[in-house]
Structure 1
């Protein structure tokens, strides 16, 4: 049967590349020569360019790491495309699916308006034992998506997931890191029917209802 190198396995020649007498010895000599060439001392001026490259690569790696590890701030919003709102009260949220951290999520979030039925922006932040980000998911949300804010344990022991919702144009720029930040914040009061039994949302609803009652008595 013809081999890939065009040799045959029948007749006086077996077809194996290393069967010829002396071939193994020749390969050993070539290997030893190659190793000796690699270990041969170089001129004194040659290692400096290599060292310079190593230092440069180390600097670039540290710089990239520092950029990716920092959080996203208002200063990072360079330009949001001006456009006419597709409907009255149209707004935008930062949106992403399982981004590695908040910076990457916000940096590459599409600049589009939320659907008409959406009213809020939601954020889901998964963290490890040290509180470092594992994944960030942000979406446009309806009220039903915001009924369970707060922090809870994740599937993996030691990991924690915090969920928050907010109302307003690109209001979900930060990510919730703890129970204090994992809340449902609104700019307009929610009525009693919209309030939920979960503590963070219930506090928000109670505050909104109490404020409305106080204002009605003034």
Structure 2
């Protein structure tokens, strides 16, 4: 019975020695390196989002999310979280989207459920789910407007409300 561990060690050492001898006699090329690392990005600036459709909760979504890159046109990660009246998750949907699909973030109540959606920019930035208005936002790491100093209508109305509230 004691011979088996010795035989296993000999076989292992022989295999390692053969592998080392073969690797020393061969120069690796760029093609070999690419084959060793098949996770190269499909296009410049490529990123990943957690992706699921109607998962039971955030844990199930993130746990089974496929590890794939977003399509070239998609720049954001979208999350829709549906909750029951008591705050328990009913469903979670996450995917890669374009900016057009990120324009309506926030929370709404419908048929006794609260549905919150959010968008973010960045590699797997949609780890968490939105649960209320403060987390149901559109967060971007890059400027959404050109370099002109013109205020957007939403920013203008926000500033107007701040000044009006401050003067009352």
SS of the residue corresponding to residue 133 of structure 2 reads coil
Report deviation, 1:134.
0.1
Question: Which structure 1 residue ranges, 5 or more long, are not aligned?
Answer: 1-80, 208-218
Q: Does 1:130 align with 2:76?
A: no
**TM-score relative to the length of structure 2:** 0.65
**TM-score relative to the length of structure 1:** 0.50
Report deviation, 1:153.
1.0
Counterpart in 1 of 2:98?
142
Counterpart in 2 of 1:92?
48
Aligned residue pair count: 117
Map 1:166-205; keep pairs closer than 5 Å.
166-191=120-145, 202=154
Report deviation, 1:88.
0.3
Question: Which structure 2 residue ranges, 5 or more long, are not aligned?
Answer: 1-36, 160-168
For 1:114, which of 52, 66, 70 is the aligned residue?
70
Map 1:198-217; keep pairs closer than 5 Å.
202=154
Taking the aligned partners of 2:90 and 2:134, their CA distance within structure 1 comes to 20
For 2:58, which of 98, 102, 110 is the aligned residue?
102
Taking the aligned partners of 1:148 and 1:131, their CA distance within structure 2 comes to 21
Report deviation, 1:181.
0.2
Report deviation, 1:135.
0.1
Counterpart in 1 of 2:118?
164
Closer, same or farther in 2 for the Cα pair 1:196/1:178, shift >3 Å?
farther
Q: Which has the higher strand share?
A: 2
RMSD of aligned Cα (Å) = 2.3
Computing the radius of gyration over CA atoms, which structure comes out larger, 1 or 2? 1
